[in-house]
Structures are given as structure tokens and as C-alpha cells.
Amino acid sequence: MIPNFHCQSWFSHKLRIPLMALAILAVPFSIAKGQTEVADIMPLGDSITRGTNDINSPNGDIPGGYRKNLQARLSSGGFPYNFVGSRTDNAAAGIDPDHNGNNGFRTDQVLANLSTWMAVQPDTVLLLIGTNDILQGVPVATIASNLSTLIDRITTAYPKRRLYVSTVLPISGKDWNGQTAATLNNNANAYNVQVRNLVQQYRNSGRNVTLVDMNALLVYTNTDPSKNVFQPGDGVHPGQAGYGQIGVLWYNAITASGSLVDPPSGPSGYDSWASSYSAFLGLPVADRAPPADPNKDGISNLLSYALGLDPLSNSAVASAPLLIASTQEPGALVFTYRRNKLAPELVYEILVSSNLQASGWSVQGQQQAVTSAVAGEQNIELVSVTIPGDPQSGRKFAYLRVTR
């Protein structure tokens, strides 16, 4: 029997009963070491770059904003860096205080100061701008035109400079300046379409520009309300958990190629797979992201890539990881999953438990894993791992976790 799949759940039965084990997606990450040159990184934007939250205390600030989490990850990942910018306010204890996050700034105001700020010659620029334009009723076409000029001026004549451009976050407040949240979010969504299009256009022209689709990738709500993006929040600025997520997404983007200073060598891994899949071309950008599930079959795009499946085929469920009773070792189970041999950046882990309690999961070693070929699929292999049974409870639960 093939169960219905849904994200972050798993299916299990008692020992010796065949069961399908759901592969769930953990927060993706990328770590690469070895860079020796210190990279100057400029966080550039408005109050979200600064780390503001109007209902937080003291003074409506979340010290460090996303920069706190980003710095911690860069340091632990072995990437020499130096934040640069004209401001040092709202710094968390122990972090590099420099940034260019300016409360209330619109795209035109960033443009007016850009030449002065760029004089420090940053290697990497993290640009998140446009929210204040939306709140102040600036036409979307004008905001997009300003963004296009920003991208052009930041990257022109500096082919090795990396520019990462984020979409703007949704607006969850009731109203701002007489505009409802629904109206503001319609404008924000329209602007985000332009952001995605502009980044792609500049990439196609050879500019070193990368989209970081915060609007699509952030997890805004959580079963624990304290972990919501805007908790506690004012409807525009993230809370502590939200800034933490933003730091993770910047980190994933700027370290994806293993360096902060050399120009990316082109798409690889998941990006290469996604860009070569023709059926993705007609989908919105958000539906092509690693955690997205455009056909709603419970298997995300990243898992389809990891397992070597068609992300838009519902028949892929039949190829999900399988846990069955061992025919060689009494009481044991065999966990089998597909592995894409062209995805070396991914980490595949089997987690097992006897009781389904949160603290009861442990990683199953795969030193004795048995691999076998898949007929007709040269780049896919089957990995089978024997899991000892539990003599006390007579049951075992398992799932596959894939991270990058």
C-alpha cells in the first residue's frame, strides 16, 4: 500500500510489516572551507538590514538583525569575511558592527548614496530594498526601475563583485498610510515579480547577480508561535526567529560556490538540475525552489533531485524510500533509498527511533551500506542499510533526511 505523503511526516508499522518511510527535508545548508582571502561583505538596504523591530525593546531593535546569525555561520564555516558599511548602530555583542541598513530608506534614497557607499569596494553586496517604497505608495514600475539602476551600478565594471538581491517580505500589518495589508501585499508581489525578472535578465547578460527569494523561502509560521517570522513583530519587520532565518538564507546563497570572493563558475548541483529541467521553465520561481512541491505529492523539489525523480510526476511516490523486514537477519529491517550520484553536495542520513519521541531519534550508521545499480538509470544507485530490530518494543521507525 502506498501512503499519502505530506511534508514533515512519516509512516510506520510494527516490525516485519512492509512500510514506506517518508524522506523529509531539513533546512538546507552548504559548508565549504579553504578560502584564505578576506571578503568584504556589505549588508545593504533599509531597517530590515539594520535589524529594527518597532514593538521590540529596547528602542525597537533586535541587535544585529540577520547579521548576527550570518556572522556565526560564516565563522563556523571557515569563511574569512569583514562586514563593511557606513553605519555601526544596532550591533549585537561580539559581531562586526558595520552595515548599510538605513531606517525608512526607499530605493531612490539608496541610489542617492550609492557612489559614496561603494567607495569601500565591497566584494559581496547583500541587497534587500523596496519595502518602504511599497509602504509609501511608490509605483511598482518606479521601484523596479530604481532597482535595475542599483543592480547596474553595483555590478558594472566590477565583474568579480557578487551581488545578491532579495525579494521583499510580505506585509502583515492591518494598514499603513491608509492602505490595507492586502493592497500593500499585492504591490509587494508585483514588485517581487520584477525583482526575479531583473536578476535573471542581468544574469543572462553576464552580470554576477544572484536571486535570494526570501519571500518564497522563509517559513513564516511555525507550530511554536514564538518561532514565527514576525513574532514578536510589527507586521513589517521580522522578530528574532525571522532575522535568524534571513541570516541562514543569505549564508546559503553567498557560500554556495565555496568562496565569497571569486565569481561563481555557473550553476551546479541543484541549480544545474533545475535549470536543465524544461518543465520548470513555465513555473513561477517559487515553485522551482528546493523546498517547493509544485505538484503537491509530498516530495519536494530537493528530494526529487536527491532521489533522481521527476519533480512533476505523481508516480514518484512509488520510488520513495522503503523499509521492509530483512530476509537475512531475523528481527532486522532493511531501509532502501535511491541516491543521485550527480548530487555530491547532498548529505543523506537515516534517522531511527523505537518510540517516535522527539528525543528518541538517532542517526543510523551506513558504513555497511550495500549499493546496487538501477536498470536504465546510469546516474542513480540504490542504497540499502540494515537496521537492527528493537527486542523490547518489537517496532522500529525510520525516515530519510536530506540536507545540503
> Could you write out the three-class secondary structure of 350-381?
EEEECCCCHHHCEEECCCCCEEEEECCEEEEE
Output the pLDDT for position 56: 55
Q: For cell 512533476, what's the residue? A: 312
Gyration radius (Cα) of the chain, Å: 23
Among the residue ranges 64-78, 93-107, 116-130, 339-353, the one predicted with the least confidence is 339-353
Among the residue ranges 158-167, 311-320, 348-357, the one predicted with the least confidence is 311-320
Would you call 265 exposed, middle or buried from its count of C-beta atoms within 10 A (0-12, 13-18, 19+)? exposed
What percentage of the chain reaches a pLDDT higher than 90? Answer: 39
Q: What's the pLDDT band for 337 if we cut at 50, 70, 90?
A: very high
Cβ pair 185, 170 in contact under 8 A: yes
Distances (CA, A) of 299 to 6, 133, 168: 8, 37, 27
When comparing pLDDT for 103 and 222, which is higher? Answer: 103
Q: What's the pLDDT band for 262 if we cut at 50, 70, 90?
A: low
Among the residue ranges 180-189, 291-300, 317-326, the one predicted with the least confidence is 317-326
Instruction: Give the chain's mean pLDDT.
Output: 82
Output the pLDDT for position 59: 56
Q: What is the pLDDT of residues 267-279, one digit of tens each?
A: 457 877 887 777 8
Contacts of 175 (CB under 8 A, 6+ apart): 181
Cβ pair 110, 45 in contact under 8 A: yes
Residue 31 has pLDDT above 60, yes or no: no
Distance CA 141, CA 148 (A): 11
Q: For cell 492602505, what's the residue? A: 179
CATH architecture for segment(s) 19-27+316-403: Sandwich (2.60)
Structure-derived torsion over alpha carbons of residues 349, 355, 358, 364, reported in degrees to the nearest 10: -20
Output the pLDDT for position 195: 97
Q: For cell 547532498, what's the residue? A: 346
Residue ranges of domains in the chain: 19-27+316-403, 39-288
> What average pLDDT score do residues 12-17 get?
30
Output the pLDDT for position 89: 92
Output the pLDDT for position 79: 84
DSSP one-letter code for 401:
E
Output the pLDDT for position 365: 85
> What average pLDDT score do residues 21-49 get?
62
The residue ranges of DSSP E strands in 178-325, in sequence order, are 179-180, 209-212, 322-325
CATH 3.40.50.1110 fits 39-288, yes or no: yes
Q: How many helices (H) and strands (E) would you count in the chain?
A: 10, 17
Output the pLDDT for position 190: 97
Give the three-state DSSP class for 93.
Answer: coil
The helix (run of H) or strand (run of E) holding residue 272 is: helix 269-276
The DSSP annotation for 56-71 comes to STTTTB-TTHHHHHHH
Output the pLDDT for position 137: 93
Residue 112 has pLDDT above 90, yes or no: yes
pTM of structure: 0.58
Distance CA 109, CA 100 (A): 12
> What average pLDDT score do residues 394-403 get?
83
Count, residues in the chain: 404
Q: What's the pLDDT band for 23 if we cut at 50, 70, 90?
A: very low
